[in-house]
Amino acid sequence: MPRRLRPLRVAISCYPTFGGSGVIATELGIALADRGHRVHFISYAQPQRLREFHERITYHEVDVATYPLFKYPPYDLALASKMIEVAASNGLDLVHVHYAIPHAISAYLAREMLGDRRLRVVTTLHGTDITLVGNNKAYFPATRFGIQRSDAVTAVSDYLKRETIRTFGVGQDVVVVPNFVDTRRFRPDAPAARKKCFGRKGERLLAHVSNFRPVKRIADVIHVFATVARKTPARLLMIGDGPELPNAERLVEELGLRERVEFFGLLEAVEAVLPHADLFLLPSEFESFGLAALEAMACGVPPIVTETGGTGEVVEHGVNGYLCRVGDIECMAQTALDVLDDPALLRRLKRNARLTAVRRFRRDRVVQRYEEVYRDVLRR
């Protein structure tokens, strides 16, 4: 086992939302602080999962000035200026940015303006920054430049590394560091009494967690559940918020499911609800990894997900969950019914889902890999 790093001074920039990149960036910062490092979060708002005081974590808010001249306030420049301020005041060793646009470019600008070549930049690619946003012609050159000028680049899946190489012609040196989950917090043994709050006796519970964006195919979640609910007593737990929420609520009404679907909105303590579910649904158009599915697995809830992007690197078909084609509602619904009708199969899937999370994706194991990346760039 490699020698532990001396305590580092690390800045983390991310989108402070409940999306996967923001969640992982925040959880990584907390884990690094727990391991003795000094962590500075730099963003336009406090990350959603950064709610408890930690003596080795500081949050720095980026103040974006607005003027009549600016149709779109230049957040990337304000972010770079804040990075310079934090680096100069705290002697940072490195800046770790999550999601290439605009964070990698802002970090590069900060390093150049500081004129301090000792400040390292690590960029983690999360998915749509490569496959959607970064691939847009308005951002393509900047995304490619940000990747090239980073001291180290990581991707959350082998799939995303391949897409980076294919799309941008760079990335051969990208290090794959998967997403992770705190298996001490996300665990199957939530208080059993709480299940009574979510469903009636005999009902099976299905769950979905996301940012309710079009790519998540929220309507598919509801249609899958509608098929399941016609065959067996069931309830659907919908956790999250976003632009598709009004459409989802309207569809639930149209299908006559209002009494069987619970909308929780944004929920910080997802781990208090997930363990009570029997199955987790994630029918996304695209997932570079599938963090929500992994958190469900850590809670002992087998996921049924679409076989897209990097989901197959997390979910092993028939072992800890199931994979279906994008848009194949019938496959997802029938799979759910088959599993719910076979208690022995469901128990096996639950056990394997938890084991996968603990053995391959637990927090300390993956965070150590990030430390190895840091050690490598600082040595160089």
Each residue's pLDDT, cut to its tens digit, for the chain (380 residues) gives 445 568 999 999 999 987 889 999 999 999 999 999 999 999 999 998 887 889 999 999 999 988 888 888 899 999 999 999 999 999 999 999 999 999 999 999 999 999 877 899 999 999 888 887 777 888 899 999 999 999 999 999 999 999 999 988 876 799 999 999 999 999 998 665 455 567 677 899 999 999 999 999 999 999 999 999 999 999 999 999 999 999 999 999 999 999 999 999 988 889 999 999 999 999 999 999 999 999 999 999 999 999 999 999 999 999 999 999 999 999 999 999 999 999 999 999 999 999 999 999 999 999 999 999 999 999 87
CA 374 to CA 149: how far, in whole Å? 16
pLDDT at 194: 57
pLDDT at 70: 85
Q: Work out the number of other CB atoms within 10 angstroms of the CB of residue 61.
A: 13
pLDDT at 352: 98
Pairing of strands 94-98, 9-13: parallel
CB distance 175 to 204 below 8 Å:
no
Q: Where are the domains of the chain?
A: 9-180+362-379, 192-360
Nearest to 102 by CA among 72, 137, 129: 129
Q: What is the DSSP string of 311-332?
A: GGGT--BTTTBEEE-TT-HHHH
* Range list of H helices, the chain: 20-34, 75-90, 100-114, 128-131, 140-149, 158-168, 195-198, 218-231, 245-254, 291-298, 329-340, 343-360, 363-379
pLDDT at 1: 40
Nearest to 60 by CA among 75, 74, 78, 46: 46
Q: What would the two tokens of residue 316 be?
A: 């092993």
Architecture in CATH of 192-360: 3-Layer(aba) Sandwich (3.40)
CA 50 to CA 46: how far, in whole Å? 7
Architecture in CATH of 9-180+362-379: 3-Layer(aba) Sandwich (3.40)
Taking each helix axis as running N to C, give the angle between helix 75-90 and helix 100-114, from 0 to 180 degrees, rounded to the nearest 10. 50
Q: What is the helix (H) or strand (E) element at residue 316, kind and residue range?
A: none
Describe the chain by its helix, strand, coil percentages, rounded to 5: 45, 15, 40
Q: Work out the number of other CB atoms within 10 angstroms of the CB of residue 254.
A: 10
